[in-house]
C-alpha cells in the first residue's frame, strides 16, 4: 500500500493556509503527521514544522534527529538545536528562526507539555500574536480522501485477519495475554511478510485482544487487561487495530465461550439490531446526533436503557478516536468521506457485555462498511 502522496500533503497545507495566510507552526505530532507525513517519537524534546510567508518551510528537530530526518524525509530545510533543555531553551532557538512576525497560525501555542517538558509559549518568545488553528485542523481531518479511505480499508482487512487468529487462540484455560500476544505478533509478522509494507506507519504493529473485557468485566465498556484465564460461559468483547501508514480501522466483536444462554442470545440479538439501526440511519442531511438518536430510540422502545453505556461511535483515521462523535450532543452534519466506528453495545453488570464495532465510510446516500467480519452468534461462539 502506498503512503499519502506528496501532492496530497501539499494540498492539505494549502487548505490550512486558507485559514492562516501568514503561515503556521505545527507542534503536535498528529498535525505534523497529517500535513507532512513526518513520523517521529514524541518525547520531551520539541519538534515543529514551520511554514511561514516569505520563508522556505522547515522542520525543527533535536540534533540527533537530523541524520534520520535527512535519510527518511524529503524536507529541503532541516533546522535543529543541541538538546533539551540545553543551555539555550529550544523555543528560543525556534524564535530566532521564525523571526519577527505580527501573526502566526498555530495548532498549539508552543510545544505541548508531555513527558516532563516545560517551556515558554511561541507567542511569548516570538512576540507574535498567535491564531489557534485547532478547529480548522479538525475540520480537515474529518473528510477523508480516496487515498485515506483505501488505507483505512486495508487496515480493516488486517483487523479481520488478526481477529480470526484471536478467536482461534481463545480457548478455555488459555489466558488473555497468551491469546492476545500470539494473535498480535503473528498478524504483525504476516503483514510485514506480505511485502507491501516498508513500515507500518507506527511502531505499534497489529493489536488484537480483549483489554480485560472478559466475563462480567465485559460489562465495563472500557476495561484494562488483567491476564484473565478464559472460562466456559464467558462473554468477551474483542478489540483489533492495524495501522497502515498510520491509518486505522476498528473492528470489535462480542463473543461467548460455550453454549450461549437465553439471556446471552437476547443480548446478542439487540446488539446486532442496534448496530443495523445505526447503519440504516445515515443519509443526506443527517447529523451525528440523529444517528445516535436513532439508536437511543431503539434502546427506549425495547426497554434497554438500563443496559446502555456509551454513544454509538466516533470518527477514526490517523487517530483511534477522532471528532465528530455519534452522540446526541454532537450536531455536526454528516458528510461523504467521513469515517466512523459504529459500536452500540448492551451491558449487563450481572452477566457481562456485548459490543460489535465496524468501521464505515459515509457515501452520498448511506455508508459503506470497511470492515468485513461475521456478526451472527453462531460464528462468534467459541467452542469449549
Q: Is 115 helix (H, G, I), strand (E, B) or coil?
A: coil
Residue 192 pLDDT:
86
DSSP string, 241-296: E--BTTB---BB-EEEESSPPHHHHHHHHHHHHHHHHHHHH--TT-BHHHHHHHHH
> Exposure pattern of 158-181 as b/e (b: 16+ CB <10 Å)?
bbbbbbbbbbebbeeeebbebbbe
Here the cell at position 110 is 508552543
Here the cell at position 33 is 503527521
Cβ of 40: how many Cβ atoms within 10 Å? 18
What's the angle, vertex CA 81, arms to CA 75 and CA 83, rounded to 5?
125
Which ranges of the chain does DSSP label H, i.e. alpha helix? 6-17, 29-36, 66-72, 90-98, 122-126, 134-142, 146-169, 176-193, 262-281, 288-301
Query: Which contiguous run of DSSP H or E holds residue 128?
Result: none
pTM of the model: 0.95
Give the separation between CA 373 and CA 352, rounded to whole angstroms.
22
What's the angle, vertex CA 278, arms to CA 276 and CA 279, rounded to 5?
65
275, exposed or middle or buried, with CB in 10 Å at 0-12, 13-18, 19+?
A: buried
C-alpha to C-alpha distances, 314 to 138, 220, 305, nearest whole angstrom: 13, 18, 20
Residue 197 pLDDT:
62
Chunked mean pLDDT (size 10), the chain, 384 residues: 91 97 96 95 96 96 97 96 97 97 97 95 97 96 97 96 98 97 95 71 79 96 91 98 92 98 98 98 96 98 97 95 97 98 97 98 97 98 97
Give the separation between CA 311 and CA 334, rounded to whole angstroms.
16
CB under 8 Å to 343, separation ≥6 — which residues? 250, 252, 275, 310, 312, 313, 355, 356, 357, 358
Give the separation between CA 316 and CA 190, rounded to whole angstroms.
24
The four Cα atoms 149, 193, 254, 228 give a dihedral, to 10 degrees, of -140
Give the separation between CA 287 and CA 327, rounded to whole angstroms.
9
Residue 98 pLDDT:
97
Residue 200 pLDDT:
55
Domains of the chain: 6-141 (3.40.350.10), 143-382 (3.90.230.10)
Amino acid at each position: 500500500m502506498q503512503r499519502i502522496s506528496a501532492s496530497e500533503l501539499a494540498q492539505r497545507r494549502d487548505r490550512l493556509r486558507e485559514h492562516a495566510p501568514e503561515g503556521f507552526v505545527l507542534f503536535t505530532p498528529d498535525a505534523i503527521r497529517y500535513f507532512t507525513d513526518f513520523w517521529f517519537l514524541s518525547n520531551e524534546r520539541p519538534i515543529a514544522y514551520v511554514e511561514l510567508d516569505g520563508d522556505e518551510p522547515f522542520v525543527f528537530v533535536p540534533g540527533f534527529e537530523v541524520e534520520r530526518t535527512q535519510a527518511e524525509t524529503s524536507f529541503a530545510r532541516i533546522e535543529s538545536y543541541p538538546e533539551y533543555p540545553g543551555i539555550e531553551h529550544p523555543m528560543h532557538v525556534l524564535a530566532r528562526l521564525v523571526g519577527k512576525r505580527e501573526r502566526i497560525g498555530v495548532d498549539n501555542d508552543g510545544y505541548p507539555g508531555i513527558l516532563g517538558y516545560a517551556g515558554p509559549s511561541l507567542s511569548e518568545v516570538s512576540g507574535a500574536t498567535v491564531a489557534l488553528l485547532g478547529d480548522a485542523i479538525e475540520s480537515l481531518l474529518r473528510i477523508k480522501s480516496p487515498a485515506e479511505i483505501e488505507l483505512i480499508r486495508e487496515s480493516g482487512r488486517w483487523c479481520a485477519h488478526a481477529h480470526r487468529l484471536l478467536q482461534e487462540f481463545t480457548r478455555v484455560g488459555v489466558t488473555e495475554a497468551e491469546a492476545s500476544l500470539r494473535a498480535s505478533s503473528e498478524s504483525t509478522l504476516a503483514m510485514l511478510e506480505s511485502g507491501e509494507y516498508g513500515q507500518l506507519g507506527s511502531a505499534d504493529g497489529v493489536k488484537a485482544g480483549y483489554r480485560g473485557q472478559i466475563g462480567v468485566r465485559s460489562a465495563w465498556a472500557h476495561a484494562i487487561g488483567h491476564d484473565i484465564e478464559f472460562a466456559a460461559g464467558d462473554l468477551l468483547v474483542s478489540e483489533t487495530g492495524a495501522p497502515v501508514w498510520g491509518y486505522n480501522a476498528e473492528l470489535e466483536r462480542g463473543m461467548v465461550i460455550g453454549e450461549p444462554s437465553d439471556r446471552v442470545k437476547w443480548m446478542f440479538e439487540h446488539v446486532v439490531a442496534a448496530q443495523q439501526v445505526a447503519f440504516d440511519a445515515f443519509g443526506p442531511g443527517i447529523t451525528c446526533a440523529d444517528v445516535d438518536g436513532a439508536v437511543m430510540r431503539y434502546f427506549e422502545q425495547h426497554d434497554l436503557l438500563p443496559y446502555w453505556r456509551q454513544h454509538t461511535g466516533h470518527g477514526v483515521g490517523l487517530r483511534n478516536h477522532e471528532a465528530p462523535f455519534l452522540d446526541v450532543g454532537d450536531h455536526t452534519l454528516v458528510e461523504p468521506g467521513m469515517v466512523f466506528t459504529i459500536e452500540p453495545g448492551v451491558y449487563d453488570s450481572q452477566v457481562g457485555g456485548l459490543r460489535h464495532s465496524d468501521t464505515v465510510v459515509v457515501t452520498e446516500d448511506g455508508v459503506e462498511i470497511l470492515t468485513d467480519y461475521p456478526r451472527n452468534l453462531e460464528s462468534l461462539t467459541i467452542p469449549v
